[in-house]
Amino acid sequence: MLAVKDLAFTYRRGGEELFDGLSHTFAPGALTAVTGPSGRGKSTLLYVLGLMLQPTRGVVEVNGAPVSSLPDSSRASLRAHQIGFVFQDAALDPSRSVLDAVVEPALYAGVRRSTASTRARELLAALGVEDRVDHRPGEISGGQAQRVAVARALVNAPTIVLADEPTGNLDRANAATVLQALRWAAAETSVVIATHDPFVLEHADEVVAL
């Protein structure tokens, strides 16, 4: 379970405070959309939830335990084992194969390559891109790249998946496919999507407005 209590963040002392003391529990097994005008901190909230930024005030909790003030090494370990990330442009290394891209987070978490490769192939098959395992990112479509990014986010079986504008660069058909993939992921994990896309908001289980 992912939750925040009295959360606020500023990039510099005296700067604008984001989140206004946000308190919210992100429903387990649900797809939650975070929305709001540009500059309200949608992406920043994901970085705070993902323990890449520490809040100026308040706490992030995972399974009831405060985690946002843990030492860097502890936060890094928690990210590696419990949190998956999906970015707007998929963020795939153009020089590496699809399979290598999906396997990478598992290797970082200490999983054996053979085990990670099996898991990666299963995810890619479930997401309909198993025939692209040996391709480079430049050889697949934007929608396929985002499905690969979802597989990469899920390879460590995280309890939390954070997606930053995952449909922002996609046409409606590909956006629907990626949203379906995230919906599929939400069956076993909490998915939080930062978005301004009305299509995503329409299909979310809950919406948090900043």
Which residue range forms the structural domain that includes residue 46?
2-209
Q: What is the pLDDT of residues 94-106, one digit of tens each?
A: 888 999 999 999 9
- Amino acid (one-letter) located at 5: K
- Domain of 193, CATH number, reads 3.40.50.300
Contacts of 10 (CB under 8 A, 6+ apart): 16, 17, 18, 56
Work out the end-to-end distance of the chain between its first and last CA atoms, rounded to an integer number of angstroms. Answer: 21
CA distances from 190 to 58, 84, 107, 123, 159 (A): 21, 10, 23, 17, 6
CB 133 within 8 A of CB 98: yes
> What is the pTM (predicted TM-score) of this model?
0.90
Beta carbons within 8 Å of 131's beta carbon, 6+ residues apart:
none
Q: Quick one: how many helices (H) and strands (E) in the chain?
A: 7, 9
Determine contact, residues 149/182, Cβ cutoff 8 Å. Answer: no
pLDDT tens column, 123-165: 999 888 888 889 998 899 888 888 899 899 999 989 899 999 8
pLDDT tens by residue, 160-169: 999 998 888 7
What total number of domains does the chain contain?
1
